[in-house]
Amino acid sequence: MDFQFTPKQREIYELVGALAKEKFAPRAAKYDVLATSPVENLQDFRDNGLLKLTISEDLGGMGSGAMGRDPVLYLLAIEQTARVDMSTAQCLHIHSHGSHLIDHVGTQEQREHFLLKVVEDGALCNATGSEPGRTSRGQYNLTTSAERVDGGYVINGLKNYATLGDVADFNIMFAGVVHKAPSMGHLMIVVPKGTPGLSLVPDSWNPMGMRGAASPSFKLENVFVPDDHVLGEPGVYPRERWQAKFHLGFAAQYLGGAEGIFDILTDYLPKRGTAGDSYAQLRVGEIRIGIDSVRWLIYRAAWLWSRGEIQQAELLSLEAKHRAIDNAVMTMDKAAQVAGSSAFWADSAMARFFRDMRIHTLHENLDKTAATIGKFYLGQEFDTTARL
């Protein structure tokens, strides 16, 4: 068993670590205020070839992502980015999520048509299934409708939380084919920026945290989507349990965020004069233990994906995500206990991390995640994509 990073993993870990410290950290407060996508950071990803992390090597990508040759590579980039700016990490995750979907579900023509624009021109992708009220209806029970017409579908509906919605070139969206059962009619479409009938809902992004991961709402009014912009057969996303392939991307964000809080705390406490305090040492130790246990759980789950042990990889990815969320919440509580009120001025990085982490850990349902693991070990029916 080898715990060493490969030379490529080391290179990406250090490259993104440097970008994060030197470029992303100084800009984080600005995008937090603006609540728009961090275009300068996205340009840095583009300039350093990091937008092609989860695209296969045959198209000039780096071959990462759950179904790629080296699943951990993009997780290292997300972890190191989240360590200074969780919003930018979500942007990198959702672009990597979208491009990986096209890479592994799209036809060869679709892969070349969309992904060569990512590899050669730095085009941006995203992936939006979310709709108002979806949590109560179930993630595959969509109100956005797809009506079959000659040569394609006509789409009508409202999507929310479309990360990178203000800058993406290729919006991957999910809609329900009318007169089909939710999971059977679950359609994955690519709607390029500027498509007639697609419009951003003004002032639809104003959360307390993750503000730099601009995720506005989209209205779709009689949007025509040609067949060559439909990814796979209806139902492919739930049938192939694609949502389970993205659990680790979220876990890496929560891990990086906890490391970011740890970095601020271990820099601040000596300056506050409390590094010698035994309770501060206790809490800092507990936070470090939590971070390191989450990290190796994520890396092991990624290793299982690289070996093609799909079910075990899905289950351990769920465990890693659960631990990462639990650890993030614990980290916030313990860090606050020993940092004290002065560390939380409204414009401080610590305050931003707390706002970002609190809202982004709600992206996933902690209890359903644990219950799914319980169902498996109790021999009950389970769904590794259950997350809302």
Owner of token pair 């929560």: 254
Q: Give the x-and-dash track for 190-219 against ligand FAD (CB under 6 A).
A: --------------------x--x-x----
List 56, 96, 110, 163, residue binding ligand FAD (CB under 6 A): 163
Nearer to ligand FAD, 101 or 339 (CB): 101
Note whether 274 and 219 are within 8 A (CB).
no
List 45, 74, 161, 353, residue binding ligand FAD (CB under 6 A): 161
- The 3-class SS string of 199-268 reads EECCCCCCCCCCCCCCCCCEEEEEEEEEHHHECCCCCHHHHCCHHHHHHHHHHHHHHHHHHHHHHHHHHH
Nearer to ligand FAD, 126 or 384 (CB): 126
Q: Give the x-and-dash track for 28-67 against ligand FAD (CB under 6 A).
A: ----------------------------------------
CB of 345 to ligand FAD, least distance (A): 23
Which residues ranging from 282 to 311 are in contact with ligand FAD (CB under 6 A)?
Answer: none
Nearer to ligand FAD, 45 or 268 (CB): 45
DSSP string, 78-139: HHHHHTT-HHHHHHHHHHHHHHHHHHHHS-HHHIIIIIHHHHHH---EEEE---TTHHHH-T
CB of 312 to ligand FAD, least distance (A): 25
Q: Tell me which residue of 134, 138, 195, 128 sits closest to 161, measured CA to CA.
A: 128
User: Does residue 328 belong to the site contacting ligand FAD (CB under 6 A)?
Assistant: no
What is the radius of gyration, based on Cα positions, of the chain?
Answer: 20
CB of 87 to ligand FAD, least distance (A): 8
List 78, 94, 335, 349, residue binding ligand FAD (CB under 6 A): 94
Helix (H) or strand (E) holding 155: strand 152-159
Q: Site size for ligand FAD, by CB under 6 A?
A: 22
Which residues ranging from 135 to 154 are in contact with ligand FAD (CB under 6 A)?
Answer: 135-136
Lookup: tokens for 284: 């800092």
Q: Tell me which residue of 164, 144, 149 sits closest to 96, measured CA to CA.
A: 164
Pairing label, strands 145-149, 186-192: unpaired
User: Does residue 374 belong to the site contacting ligand FAD (CB under 6 A)?
Assistant: no
Nearer to ligand FAD, 148 or 358 (CB): 358
CB of 367 to ligand FAD, least distance (A): 13
Q: Tell me which residue of 68, 223, 102 sits closest to 155, measured CA to CA.
A: 223
Query: What DSSP designation does 161 have?
Result: -
- Name 145's bridge partners: 156, 176
**What residues make contact with ligand FAD under the rule CB under 6 A?**
90, 94, 126-130, 132-136, 161-163, 210, 213, 215, 359-360, 362-363
